[in-house]
Structure 1
Amino acid sequence: MGQQVYIKDVVTLKLDQEKCTGCGMCLLVCPHAVLSLTNGRAEIENRDACMECGACAQNCPSNAVTVNAGVGCATAVINAALGREGGSCCCVVESKETSSNATACSKGDKEVSCC
């Protein structure tokens, strides 16, 4: 069975190799083996397999990995399958001061929340 691909060419996963220290945390936490380690630095192996869970970004001690949670979520997958617009779900990043939604996780002064 092949590797799961979510929605082709919409994944927001980015990696700043200049910031990467090669610790490998992103590889350990990624459920789909999207990243690999080459010459002591992480690199994106298969961007379209990313489900945008955010585990890599949350666990990167050097903030080399960024991803906008939501594009790979179920709503986006269903909308794409049905030919609808809406390549992202309701997940948002808000400042802690203005957030009124249930918190999924926190990073600094930001909260990632879903409706």
Structure 2
Amino acid sequence: METVRDDYLDCFGESEITGKLGSKDIEAGKCSWLAVVALQRVTPKQRALFEQCYGYKDPVKVEAVKELYEQLGLPATYTTYEEESYNLISTQIQQISRGLPHQIFFKFLDTIYRREG
């Protein structure tokens, strides 16, 4: 969950909160969660655009990738992923905490859920 969040925030996080300027994962051509999900959804035309723009420091190309992510609905996909992960972890905490207070585990979980930076 944490790595996915970092990938998401690298692209869509507010620089004032994250402390990051730009989208380093796009510029570096990293195999990020966003890139993998995008490649699972793209049309051939969108894939060609992705391949032409991904992995370059050119701001126009970076913005084209971000726009592609938006077109593919990746922000909504991330929100759904985050909520489903939180619910799954919450259920697991309730099932396997074996005598320890559930609140301890929920406190840890709350430190990472919907973190913005």
Same fold, TM-score > 0.5, yes or no = no
- Between Structure 1 and Structure 2, the one with more helix by share is 2
Shorter-chain TM-score: which interval? under 0.3
- Between Structure 1 and Structure 2, the one with more strand by share is 1
Greater gyration radius = 2
Greater relative contact order (Cα < 8 A, sep 6+): 2
Normalised to the residue count of structure 1, the TM-score between the two structures is 0.25
